[in-house]
Amino acid sequence: MKQVISSKHLSTIIFLLSIMVGIKLLWLIISMLFLPTTGEEMKQSTQAKKLYYRVRLSNPSKVTITPKAPTKSVVISMKGYKLLGLYHSDKKLVVTVSKGSKTSILSGGEKIHGFELFTAGKDYVLFRKNGQEFKLSLENRKNSKTNVASSHASKTPTSPSAKTSKIVEEGGTKHIPKTLLTSYTKDIDKVWKDVGLSNYKKDGKSAGFKVNFVKKGSDIEALGLERGDILTAINAEPLNLSSAMNFFNGINDLDNLTLTVERNGISKDLEYEIQ
Amino acid sequence: MQMVKRIVGGFFLSLLLLWLFAPKVELYYALEKQLKEKSILISNETISDTWYGLKIENADLSVDGAKIATISQLNFNIFFFYNTLKINDVKMDKSLSNMAPKEINSVNAVYSIINPLKIQLDANGSFGVMNGEVALLDRKVALLFPVTKEIKTIKKFLKKDKEKGWIYETSY
């Protein structure tokens, strides 16, 4: 019988095929043992609820109120007390009241000098004591603000940043005009002129931004940031490029802001209200 | 002589087959995993295996969880001695409009056996033209912008050189 392929060619073909099979097998083993079979995809933000909500007590006009009619007709005003702030929703009632120089924050059901806080209307709250109801109305906001602003001005007239900056401190919280924030978002160069930030890593992972410098007399200085601070969170959300960009993009919708900074190893919250 | 021919032929054939049979998609996934460790993520892309490399289309590029750009096309061409990465039509995210160039038309990265310690880069876009290199041993990146257009947004990262133009240098 005549041979179709010579033994020499046959051995060459077997040699080539064995190389092909060997290499295919080699890659197969490498793939199975060492290479991932799926790619990495970006996980969508879960829009998880924040750990807490900040309540802007000083601005009653922005608070959603569910008015509840008082149950009793006898209402007496509370002399000596002032209602400074009010937050009222279906589930929560929080108010700030002052008497003299002392300020207290109360939740629904709590008592102050025997007066029990039990309900609220749009711009007033009702307390109960000895079966009687006492009404406390919100202080006029404009008057209140003017008073605070003027007292602040008299207290700190010489601070250079206070002169140039539009940031005002009121009752321990700094108030930032929205226009000031938008001036930074519109002109990003202004940010880099006033503050130097670099990515801060902890255990190889991004853990915030380090403040390398703060321009003297700038609005950033008036915010209370200092060189060496590590910005770790904005509104309780850990700070990274993503949350920083989200913050930057949504800055117009913010009413308040909490910057968490690590200063000399100690974590500190800087509170701001945006107006 | 016959044996030598067979060994040499077998060696080159093995190289060729190693390249052709390489599980390029899985190798790309491995690259993605490495990039993820540096907080860089390429997602939502369409991957096609070509004989000589990979074609990736419509990829979203994210850094640190923030989407920074959409890339129309990425081409990895692997020829062992001459490897290229071509990126076409990069649109930066709107949120970065104040911080980065709006558009990058093309980026070419070349790694060749002739210059094994460096990766050559060139790009053009709304910023003008860029040439540069990555020094693999020194772990340094140097980018030169000899012809510039809209660089206002990236000027703060650049240094002016009277002769060469604008320069960006960093290490990793």
pLDDT one-digit tens code per residue, A132-167: 788 888 765 444 443 333 333 333 343 444 444 577
Going along A89-123, which residue ranges are E strands?
93-99, 102-107, 111-112, 115-120
Contacts of B26 in chain A (CB under 8 A): 31, 35-37
Q: What is the mean pLDDT of residues A102-130?
A: 82
Contacts of A27 in chain B (CB under 8 A): 18, 21-23
pLDDT at B151: 80
Q: Could you tell me if A67 and A104 lie in one domain?
A: yes
Q: By residue range, what is the domain housing residue B158?
A: 104-172
CA nearest neighbour of A16 among B158, B153, B10: B10
Closest approach of A176 to chain B, Cα-based (Å): 22
CATH of the domain at A180: 2.30.42.10
pLDDT at A47: 45
Q: Could you tell me if A166 and A268 lie in one domain?
A: yes
Cα separation, A236 vs A88, in Å, equals 23
Q: Which of A105, A137, A169 is the last residue of a domain?
A: A137
pLDDT at B29: 94
B170 within some domain: yes
A150 within some domain: no
B89 within some domain: no
3-class SS at B8?
helix
pLDDT at B112: 93
pLDDT at B73: 94
pLDDT band at A95 (very low <50, low <70, confident <90, very high): confident
pLDDT at A150: 33
A83 within some domain: yes
Number of H helices, E strands in chain B: 2, 11
The encoded tokens of residue A63 equal 């608070």
B162 within some domain: yes
The encoded tokens of residue B116 equal 């094994």
pLDDT at A146: 34
Contacts of A188 in chain B (CB under 8 A): 98-99, 153
A20 within some domain: no
pLDDT at A68: 47
Q: What is the mean pLDDT of residues A119-123?
A: 78
Note the pLDDT tens digit of each residue in B68-81.
899 999 999 988 78
A171 within some domain: yes
Query: Cβ of A175: how many Cβ atoms within 10 Å?
Result: 20
pLDDT at A140: 56
A25 within some domain: no
B46 within some domain: no
A74 within some domain: yes
Of residues A199 and B95, which shows the higher confidence score?
A: A199
Cα separation, B164 vs B142, in Å, equals 12
The encoded tokens of residue A236 equal 């309780």
pLDDT at B32: 93
Angle between helices B2-21 and A7-34 (to 10 degrees): 40
The encoded tokens of residue A195 equal 């503050």
B140 within some domain: yes
Q: Could you tell me if A166 and A246 lie in one domain?
A: yes
Of residues A244 and A140, which shows the higher confidence score?
A: A244
Query: From the list A15, A24, A242, which residue is nearest B64 (CB)?
Result: A242
Q: Could you tell me if A128 and A177 lie in one domain?
A: no
The verdict on A21 touching B (C-beta cutoff 8 Å) is no
pLDDT at B30: 93
Q: By residue range, what is the domain housing residue A193?
A: 161-274
pLDDT at A158: 39
How many domains does chain B contain in total?
Answer: 1
pLDDT at A63: 46
Phi-psi region of A186 (alpha: psi -120 to 50; beta: other; left: phi over 0): alpha
Q: Could you tell me if A261 and A167 lie in one domain?
A: yes
A266 within some domain: yes
Q: Which of A104, A137, A170 is the last residue of a domain?
A: A137
Q: Residues of chain B whose pLDDT is less than 70?
A: none
The verdict on B6 touching A (C-beta cutoff 8 Å) is yes
Report pTM. 0.60
Q: Could you tell me if A117 and A178 lie in one domain?
A: no
Share of chain A above pLDDT 70, in %: 75
pLDDT at B143: 93
How many domains does chain A contain in total?
Answer: 2
pLDDT at A55: 55
Task: Say which residues have a Cβ less than 8 Å from residue A125's Cβ, sequence separation at least 6.
Answer: A83, A86, A93, A95, A117, A119, A135, A136
